[in-house]
Amino acid sequence: MLGGKLLPQTVFCQKCHSVLYEGADLTPPDEIIQKHDGKCPKCGKKLSSIPIEVEVKTIE
Ligand SMILES: [Zn+2]
């Protein structure tokens, strides 16, 4: 379902699984949440710092 290469850090919304952040640098969840005003831009789910899904992949 996800094509192409993933950036090292990808953060998904727990509810709708839209991508909230993709980046080469590891970013604290708090910072990502702040960028979205504390909620998912797609489904409006309130984001909290702990249950956010973070996936870190290494590109060789
Ligand atoms: Zn969402």
How many angstroms is it from 60 CA to the middle of ligand 1? 30
Using an 8 Å Cβ cutoff, are 14 and 51 in contact?
A: yes
Q: What is the pLDDT of residue 6?
A: 59
- Does residue 4 lie within any of the structural domains? no
- Does residue 2 lie within any of the structural domains? no
Cα→Cα distances 23→8, 41, Å: 6, 18
Cα→Cα distances 17→11, 13, 59, Å: 9, 4, 22
Kindly report, residue by residue over 6-54, the tens digit of the pLDDT: 567 888 888 899 999 888 888 888 888 899 999 999 999 998 865 566 6
Indicate the number of domains in the chain.
1
How many angstroms is it from 12 CA to the middle of ligand 1? 8
How many angstroms is it from 40 CA to the middle of ligand 1? 5
How many angstroms is it from 44 CA to the middle of ligand 1? 6
Task: Tell me which residue range forms the domain holding 13.
Answer: 9-56
- Does residue 15 lie within any of the structural domains? yes
